[in-house]
Amino acid sequence: MKRQTVIIKIKTGLLYLLLIISSAYCSKDRNPEPDLTDATSLLTAKSWKLLSHGYDNNKDGVISSSEEALLDCERDNISTFNKNGTGIVLENELVCSGNKNSSQFNWSLINNDTMLDFNFGIAVITKLTADSLVITDNNSDDLKMIVIYGH
């Protein structure tokens, strides 16, 4: 009889242990990753650091070192796109001469999410992934300005 009682206690203890372990593995993710499948989600998921900009003089679609126009005071600039269509550019530590510490802007996606309308001009989205944003100006000229952001 004592042996049966001990076996029942062991089985009950193992059952409780199994329930505790399974509930830990089956619990829902409390901080799920954002759905990064659409342009708005990709733009608004994280802030963007300005990595490069310049005119593509040789028309190869890249900013080579001779075309790079990024100033030292721009290297720490961060742009944030908010879901409500507003945004902010932070100059951070190195503020370019004549600029404020921060500048607000409005934005919207147009033309099937292939262009950004900044209310002061339209940019063509050349590349948009979770880690990279590349935009060009919307001029009909052959000479394009390319702006590259990353995280």
**Tokens of residue 47, six digits:** 């802030």
Q: Which of 15-24, 75-84, 115-124 is the least confident region?
A: 15-24
Largest CA distance in the chain: 94
pLDDT at 143: 78
Q: What is the mean pLDDT of residues 15-19?
A: 50
Average pLDDT over residues 107-125: 94
CA angle 48, 150, 61 (to 5 degrees): 120
Q: Is the pTM of this model over 0.85?
A: no
Enumerate the domain spans of the chain.
39-150
- In sequence order, which residues have a C-beta less than 8 Å from that of residue 61 and are 6 or more positions away? 126, 146
| pLDDT score recorded for residue 20 | 55
Architecture label for domain 39-150: Beta Barrel (2.40)
User: Which of 72-76, 95-99, 138-142 is predicted with the least confidence, judged by mean pLDDT?
Assistant: 138-142
| Confidence bin at 133 (pLDDT 50/70/90) | very high
User: What is the pLDDT at residue 28?
Assistant: 53
Given this model, what pLDDT does residue 3 score?
56
